Amino acid sequence: MAAVDVAALADGVREGRRASISRAITLVESRRADHRAAARELLTTLTPDAGGAVRVGISGVPGVGKSTTIEALGTYLTGRDHKVGVLAVDPSSVRTGGSVLGDKTRMSTLAIDPNSFIRPSPSAGTLGGVARATSQAMTILEAAGYDVVLVETVGVGQSEITVAGMVDTFLFLTLARTGDQLQGIKKGILEIADVIAVNKADGERVREAEVTAKDLAGALRMVYAGTQDWVPPVLTCSGLEGTGIDTVWSRVLRHREFLGHRGLAEKRAQQQLDFTWALVRDELEDRLRRHEGVRAVRADVREEILEGRLGAAEAADRLLAAYDD
Ligand code: GDP
């Protein structure tokens, strides 16, 4: 990318021009110092126009039907005059289960829909880097008039929590399971899921999916008994056939109503605060890694630790002392 005319790029984004949006997202994904400066300027310009979207995170294990469901939900929404952005957070950029998150070929209808914009996960190394770029891409899409942004991520580990930290509502997709397996998914998702959908509720699996949804809903009601908190509703849907997708969307909207204007504003403000510190930690770690003094001693320190000659506390002191020099 040559020198960036930030004002012109911002205008293009605001006018909703696809080429400008693509270019702007490429800019925020770039790790080059001059691009980072231009990206900051662009975001400062666009931020007043952003914030208007319903931000939804979507996760679930590979194969659960995320792409298929996003295709169905996205198409449902563009059919109702929404403009839908699809982003993805995949820190490993591994082709999970033969898929790339946010892969356009797996959302073939939505990919050619003029009212949708799909962008695959940036492949920028760390989760922090990917999260920053995705969150900034969301700002760009909102400034371009996209009023729904769906952020896809895999249902394992930290990336889910990261995405939960940048959306208003988190949709967790799961499959019909037996009681034992149900216990397993309950713990991790309780913290972040706002809406749960048992996908692939079609053909012979409808009944099984309904039983799972009922069991899970019952378990959740018990966990939330006596609280005023939002109790995540559990639905069934079929991304493939498009059934239950309207209900999924209505529950997303109901969750927003539950939050209310003030609750949503507070949630987003808290997210910004958390995200700020995450960015700072990330940058500091990056600087630590690149620091010449640290690089000069890290191999020795590593060896001494592995040989049992150096304890962790002392080793940490040495690395930090090298960084301070
Ligand atoms: P992802 O890895 O979570 O994005 O899952 P995909 O959307 O790629 O779906 C994985 C496989 O499950 C594909 O073969 C889909 O056709 C299939 N699939 C997805 N959703 C459904 C559904 O609702 N019903 C059925 N029967 N199959 C589905």
Taking the CA of residue 97 as reference, the ligand 1 atom at the shortest distance is 2
- Encode pLDDT of 170-195 as tens digits: 999 999 876 656 665 656 776 789 99
Q: What is the pLDDT of residue 6?
A: 95
Q: What is the pLDDT of residue 104?
A: 65
**CATH code matching the domain that covers 1-49, chosen among 1.20.5.170, 3.40.640.10, 2.30.38.10, 1.20.58.1180:** 1.20.5.170
Task: List beta partners, residue 89.
Answer: 153
Taking the CA of residue 199 as reference, the ligand 1 atom at the shortest distance is 23
Average pLDDT for residues 203-215, to the nearest whole number?
93
Q: How far apart are CA 12 and CA 18, in angstroms?
A: 8
For residue 278, pLDDT beyond 80: yes
For residue 99, pLDDT beyond 90: no
Same fold, 1-49 and 51-259: no
Q: Are 110 and 44 in contact (CB under 8 A)?
A: no
Phi-psi domain of 241 (left: phi exceeds 0; alpha: psi -120 through 50; beta: other)? alpha
The domain spans of the chain are 1-49, 51-259, 291-324
CA of 67 to the centre of ligand 1 (A): 7
Task: List beta partners, residue 56.
Answer: 150, 169
Q: How far apart are CA 278 and CA 265, in angstroms?
A: 20
Q: What is the pLDDT of residue 171?
A: 96
CA of 159 to the centre of ligand 1 (A): 21
For residue 52, pLDDT beyond 80: yes
For residue 1, pLDDT beyond 70: no
Q: What is the pLDDT of residue 179?
A: 60
Q: Whose CA is nearest to atom 14 of ligand 1?
A: 63
60 lines ligand 1 (CB under 6 A): yes
For residue 94, pLDDT beyond 80: no
Q: How far apart are CA 143 and CA 46, in angstroms?
A: 6
Task: Compute the half-sphere exposure of residue 280: CA atoms within 13 Å on the CB side of its CA.
Answer: 6
Q: What is the pLDDT of residue 187?
A: 65
CATH architecture of 51-259: 3-Layer(aba) Sandwich (3.40)
- N- to C-terminal Cα separation, the chain: 36
For residue 98, pLDDT beyond 80: no
Q: What is the pTM of this model?
A: 0.90
Q: By C-alpha distance, which of 235, 238, 275 is closest to 255?
A: 235
